[in-house]
Chains A and B, each alone.
Chain A
Amino acid sequence: MSATLKRSTNATLEVEGLRVSFGGMEAVRGIDLSVERGETHCLVGESGCGKSASALAIMGLLPGGARRSVRRLGFAGDEIGKLSERRMARLRGDRIGMIFQDPMTSLNPAYTIGSQMTEVLRRHRGLARDKAAERAVAMLDRVGVTAPGMRLGQFPHQLSGGLRQRVMIAMALLCEPTLLIADEPTTALDVTVQAQTLRLLAELQRELGLAVLLITHDLGVVARVAHRVSVMYAGEIVEQATTEALFAAPTHPYTRGLLDAIPVPGKVRRGDKLGSIPGIVPRIPAGFVGCAFRDRCAFAEPVCASNIPPQFASPDHAYRCRMAPDWWRATA
């Protein structure tokens, strides 16, 4: 949708017309987004909406059997959509850092923290073992891991979930990347540890001027950390705006439904019903036309079965629905 939301051209990450399909099913159906230096762009949606497939596609890490096509994939001014796997591998872990949900599956259980961290530096930076270890200790210290020297000799299972995620963050930032792609980085953590981890990420982002693409299902996380938000549904971005604009005037019926479904402490009275969206997320076959939300939408009309162009609620706020920008004010 950012083809229509024109932004400055020096964005760290620019994605236009990204598509991913698995077999005959379309997981990502032509999304546009950009992330600038120092900015956090959140890609939010429910399971199966294509948010993780989008992140993997951008990093060139889709599993075999998936097909990707992209009109433009710009990273720091270069087109990386056509790069060979070898050259992409050189970018990943170096100028593009990655963090995934469960550090227990992305850290190798058979190697110490130290050997996994120094491998990154030896491989991408050609550092000698002792120099690499020195840098790893400094980085662990920076992300608030206590007794960093001792941690190098420990195995992932010896650390708590929060510590493991800090180690992942430290690893992702070892080579001072310009872009960080984080897929549900705090979803497996306890609430107190989640808040601490997100604070740490925000601090590091300011310090390093990182562009962050954050994938999450949690609109609470979005509200607190994002500068810009893209709401995904069934492989499409259905609404894209600055965080203030999105929460002040959520316009797509799906976005509104999602927000109504969240219990907020102190806001909902016991016994009150939560808003809920009937039905389940559909699977989208190739050649699907129209709004994918129409079967679950209370405002669907026959016209929703045809192609819906994006509209603007404000210059910084696009959405893909037939309804007028302020339709919801009448029903609220």
Chain B
Amino acid sequence: MNAAIETVGLHRVFDQRQGLFGPQAHVVAVDDINLKIAPGRALGIVGESGCGKSTLARVLLGLLPPSDGTVRVDGQNLANMDRRERAKLIQPVFQDPMSSLNPRRRVNDLIGLPLMVQGIRGGEQQRRVAKMLERVGLSPETGTRYPAQLSGGQRQRVAIARALVNQPRILVCDEPTSALDVSVQAQILNLLGDLRAEFDLTLVFISHNLAVVEHIADELAVMYLGRIVEHGPSEDVFRAPQHPYTRALLASVLTPEPGLGLPEVPLGEGYPDPSNIPPGCRFHPRCPIAIDRCRTEPPARRAVECHLAA
């Protein structure tokens, strides 16, 4: 069986000028990523701001062309597909539905648009929109409203309905609950869990919140400065993180358990800069256990990219 998503040597580089006459900077946002997601699995991608996780999402969705390498969706090269074919296979849910939903369209039209693009109109379109509204837990009246008249949670439900109305195979969620309150976040996560089973979806779930990712993902990939530095089954990564960066990330999560106090985070103050990736292991300037070899020699490309991991 084909992998739902497979990337081979995926790169994405941005050229940025520092100021009007400044030097050209080469920002490597995605650096040689090779991923394979089996159909029906959920891959969680975590990492801090600037690690390239959102760029990766946009490349997987075909919204940004890769600088090098290929994305295969369901065995087909994404670059050779037209937009309509792509939209039937893979759909996004973004963080802020207020900026991804057209504010001048009613909810019914927003959810109906992907159907119209595929040539489904009239009564059939209305019927499918109504069914989808109900499925994501929105009342039929909501369909006649504008996005600005909805709460954040309702808007995210609309975004999910729009993404799923054509029954795609793959859903790429980029921080889908980060703008929501915890009680609403729980509603949306539960909904995504249900829909995933019902639609037999393959899920790519990107978040900075490790607990949220653990809740939904079968596999976890940890990104640091454009590379996946640790990749494995969620249980294993959460129970026994191997990469020192994964360990620091997990140690930093503040669980609602009083008495534990604040964790000491064994990372330097150095801030990762994707336009200036350190030689050797890219994590070495912040790594608490770095040895000389880490400063000069990049670690081998494997599930845990660290010289010192077993």
Contact = CB atoms under 8 A, between A and B. Distances in A.
Interface of A: 46-47, 144, 146, 160-163, 190-196, 198-199, 202, 217-225, 243-244, 247, 257-268, 270-271, 273-278, 280
A263 B262 contact: no
A270 B218 contact: yes
Nearest to B259: A244
Contacts of A220: 253-256
A146 B269 CA distance: 8
Contact of A144 (B153, B257, B269): B269
A270 B216 contact: yes
Contacts of A260: 186
Given A273-B193, A277-B183, A202 B262 contact: yes
A195 B259 contact: no
Contact of B214 (A192, A247, A265): A265
19 contacts: A162-B269, A163-B271, A192-B249, A195-B252, A195-B263, A217-B181, A225-B262, A262-B211, A262-B256, A263-B212, A263-B215, A264-B255, A265-B214, A266-B239, A270-B218, A270-B234, A271-B193, A276-B186, A276-B187
B214 A270 contact: yes
Contacts, number: 139
B262 A195 contact: yes
B310 interface: no
B74 to A, nearest CB: 24
Interface in B210-238: 210-212, 214-218, 234, 238
A162 B218 CA distance: 31
A180 to B, nearest CB: 17
Contacts of B119: none
Given A160-B271, A261-B183, 20 more contacts: A46-B184, A161-B49, A162-B269, A192-B248, A195-B263, A217-B182, A224-B262, A247-B258, A258-B182, A261-B185, A264-B256, A265-B211, A265-B214, A266-B238, A270-B215, A270-B216, A271-B193, A274-B215, A280-B151, A280-B184
B189 A274 contact: yes
Nearest to B191: A276
Nearest to B273: A160
B190 interface: yes
A18 B32 CA distance: 57
Interface of B: 48-49, 151, 153, 181-187, 189-190, 193, 208-212, 214-218, 234, 238-239, 248-265, 267, 269, 271
A274 to B, nearest CB: 4
A4 B96 CA distance: 42
A136 B226 CA distance: 36
Contact of A224 (B212, B216, B218, B260): B260
A270 B181 CA distance: 21
Contacts of A277: 183, 186
B19 to A, nearest CB: 11
A224 B261 contact: yes
A221 B257 CA distance: 9
Contacts of B48: 190-193
